[in-house]
Amino acid sequence: MAVTSRRQFIQQSLFAAAALYRYPVQTLTGAPAILRTIEQNGASVDPAEIRKLASKISGHVITPTAPEYESLRLVFNRAFNLRPAVIVRCAGPSDVARALDFGQQQKIPVAVHSGGHSRLGYGMCDGGVVIDLAGMNRVKVDAGNRLARAEAGALVHDLDVATQKFGLATTSGGCPTVGITGLTLGGGQGKLMGLYGAACDNLLSAQLVTVDGKEVVASRDIDPDLFWAIRGGGGNFGVVTALEYQVHPVTDVLGGTLLYPPGRIPELLQAFARFVETEPDEMDSLAQLLPSDGGARCRIDVCYCGDPRTGNELLRPLRALKPQEDDVKVTPYLTIQSGGGFLQAPVAHFQTNQFLPKLSETAIAAIAAALNDAPRHDKVFGKVIVVPLHGAISRVPVTDTAFVLRRPGYEVDIAGVWSDPAEKAGAVRWVEALRDKLQPLAQGVYANQLGETSEALVRAAYGANYGRLRRVKQKYDPNNVLRLNQNIRPA
Ligand SMILES: Cc1cc2nc3c(=O)[nH]c(=O)nc-3n(C[C@H](O)[C@H](O)[C@H](O)COP(=O)(O)OP(=O)(O)OC[C@H]3O[C@@H](n4cnc5c(N)ncnc54)[C@H](O)[C@@H]3O)c2cc1C
């Protein structure tokens, strides 16, 4: 990937200084719920200050005139089209410290970008500085001690590939291009969560740069308050530069997809709920529901980490419902993990979620009815994903880490996708309508899968831990420099 060297940067700055940062500032009055409040900053950044920053950075400083600026500013959720004043492609913790200092000195927004998969585009900003960690993505595995140490820019795929070389793995996300840092800081759900807990439960330590530029380590023994907060409290407390995980033996699994004929959503979801109620820790499953012309379709993905004979026995009730396609077989874990996420490629979307302790008849009826009305064209469609939480992830006491979804139940993700901006309002309305129907049944939300924010949602996302999180925030980021996230206000 071509990036601006310090010399190129200085040349570009000299030739184009006058043109820097003259892009229009968009006003978002009356914006629909999907759009987070984007902090506007009318003041331009002095090019001389950027040159000074570039001279101290070991990585690369990218400005709007650099050829790679347009690709680097893109985030997975194409609903966001943000134009930062400067992107700092960090090479190490000292670059992070300098970029943090720059943002504070210039009084501009600071965004932290690892994998770029925030549903709210939080890894990018308008008019501010982006601390981009994508180039710091090495993963080292200590197989003897079952540890993996990853730099903060590593993606789910990077972590899986490195650990699977040794027949090891830890809980990581269902989409290979998600960043492990954003994933872990918000909790981190994946196929191994029933067996080994959330990604944050496998975190042993983290290296961070705090907003005052200090490089610190957090673990159970060192700064335990900070370590507690970063396991579920998101990117509120400092910029993570490396993470150390416990890893576990995982090789072949029994995994794949059962795809059912259209038009049987209530029956299939009821059967799915019965299946989930008895599934052991080794079994992970989720249901994806998509509208189609013949009626909505249900696809159930399974991954069983145990004896395949037992796994096949457990799957009997799902197979008895006569799936049209069944490719569940013994497969390397890495193959299952590389299969892709719910949305395979970057796309404009609005996704939100509710945590339901039960998949009740009322909830199933609401989901089935919504799918009948869902937009369903090539360019715009609605989708529901039902993610059961059970086993190890649900046995950790709520106050042990900041991550609060600690009881068995279902995270119901509702997504509206569009490529033509004219279709956006309809897709958003569809998501909001189902969200509002499920609201009376919900007991929480998953911060990492929220495409919207508000004070009420932040409180719901951090639940019983919100008060303690605010106190930790006050200690580490009293001026709320790191506020492009599901934001915890300093106490
Ligand atoms: C297609 C898709 C599939 C997904 N699948 C799953 C899944 O299977 N399981 C699951 O649990 N979640 C999943 N998610 C949600 C995902 O966990 C969150 O969006 C997560 O925040 C993405 O992290 P990122 O590093 O890729 O994103 P970024 O946009 O780079 O970062 C998101 C936020 O995380 C924080 N952050 C990131 N890096 C740092 C850092 N180095 N230091 C401090 N803060 C940081 C910041 O607040 C930042 O704004 C998925 C999202 C998408 C779009």
Q: 132: CA distance to ligand 1 center in Å?
A: 13
Pairing of strands 129-132, 86-89: parallel
- What average pLDDT score do residues 381-389 get? 96
Complete DSSP assignment for 354-395: EEESS--HHHHHHHHHHHHTS-BSSSEEEEEEEEEE-GGGGT
Residue 109 covered by a domain: yes
Query: Does 314 share its domain with 384?
Result: yes
Q: Give the model confidence (pLDDT) of 293-319 as tens digits.
A: 889 999 999 999 999 999 999 999 999
Q: State the pLDDT at residue 43.
A: 53
| Among the listed residues 416, 413, 441, 437, the one whose alpha carbon sits nearest the alpha carbon of residue 426 | 416
Q: State the pLDDT at residue 377.
A: 78
56: number of Cβ within 10 Å? 15
CA dihedral defined by 472, 473, 476, 481, rounded to 10 degrees?
Answer: 170
Residue 309: which domain range? 252-454
For residue 13, is pLDDT > 50?
A: no
- What average pLDDT score do residues 211-224 get? 98
> Which CATH number belongs to the domain containing residue 69 in this structure?
3.30.43.10
Q: State the pLDDT at residue 210.
A: 98
Percent of the chain topping pLDDT 70: 90
- 0.75 exceeded by the pTM? yes
Q: Give the model confidence (pLDDT) of 89-126 as tens digits.
A: 999 999 999 999 999 999 999 999 999 999 999 999 99
Is there a contact between 115 and 179 (Cβ–Cβ < 8 Å)?
yes
Q: State the pLDDT at residue 341.
A: 55
| Among the listed residues 375, 363, 371, the one whose alpha carbon sits nearest the alpha carbon of residue 297 | 371
Q: State the pLDDT at residue 38.
A: 40
Residue 355 covered by a domain: yes
State the burial class of residue 183 (Cβ atoms within 10 Å of its Cβ: 0-12, 13-18, 19+): buried
> Which CATH number belongs to the domain containing residue 291 in this structure?
3.40.462.20
Helix or strand holding residue 454 (H, E): none
Cα 280-281-284 angle, rounded to 5 deg: 90
Query: Does 257 share its domain with 240?
Result: no
Q: State the pLDDT at residue 18.
A: 23
Which bin fits 29, alpha (ψ -120 to 50), beta or left (φ > 0)? beta
Query: Does 314 share its domain with 365?
Result: yes
For ligand 1, pick from 119, 185, 338 the residue to mutate: most ligand atoms within 8 Å of CB: 185
Distance CA 156, CA 173 (A): 6
- What average pLDDT score do residues 135-147 get? 98
pLDDT band at 342 (very low <50, low <70, confident <90, very high): low
Strand partners, 253: 331
> Which CATH number belongs to the domain containing residue 157 in this structure?
3.30.465.10
Q: 112: CA distance to ligand 1 center in Å?
A: 10
Q: Give the model confidence (pLDDT) of 37-73 as tens digits.
A: 444 444 589 999 999 999 999 999 999 999 999 999 9
Q: State the pLDDT at residue 375.
A: 82
Query: Does 234 share its domain with 378?
Result: no
State the burial class of residue 198 (Cβ atoms within 10 Å of its Cβ: 0-12, 13-18, 19+): buried
Distance CA 134, CA 85 (A): 18
Collect all residues with Cβ–Cβ distance below 8 Å to 176 and sequence separation of at least 6.
155, 156, 157, 160, 337, 338, 340, 341
For residue 79, is pLDDT > 90?
A: yes
Q: Give the model confidence (pLDDT) of 224-279 as tens digits.
A: 999 999 999 999 999 999 999 999 999 999 999 999 999 999 999 999 999 999 99
Task: Compute the Cα dihedral for 426, 430, 431, 433 and give only its sign.
Answer: positive
Query: Does 174 share its domain with 260?
Result: no
Query: Does 216 share its domain with 309?
Result: no
Q: State the pLDDT at residue 20.
A: 24
Give me the number of domains the chain comprises. Answer: 3
- Identify the residues whose C-beta falls under 6 Å from ligand 1: 76, 112-119, 122-123, 133, 152, 173-175, 178-179, 181-183, 185-186, 188-190, 234-235, 239-240, 341, 343, 448-449, 484-485
Collect all residues with Cβ–Cβ distance below 8 Å to 316 and sequence separation of at least 6.
none
Residue 438 covered by a domain: yes
